[in-house]
Amino acid sequence: MNRVLLAILFFGAMVAVYIILFLLNRKTPLPEGCENLKADCDACHDIHCINNPDHAKNRDA
């Protein structure tokens, strides 16, 4: 019984730490230059890559 209670408390502490760190990370401002993370890639030859500039052209064709 004592081990079960200890396991539940440990799991609860881990969840609490995760929630606190998630909320603190959410409040952190983005570094300068990281506001727009859309890739301007011309070298990708994978037509299934969502960042490929030709992706929209192949979808419309």
- pLDDT score for 17: 98
Give, in order, the Cα–Cα distances in Å from 54 to each of 17, 39, 59: 43, 13, 9
Quick one: average pLDDT of 28-55? 70
Give residue for tokens 């408390």: 9
Q: What tens digit of pLDDT does each residue of 17-34 get?
A: 999 999 999 998 888 877
The percent of residues above 70 in pLDDT, for the chain, comes to 66
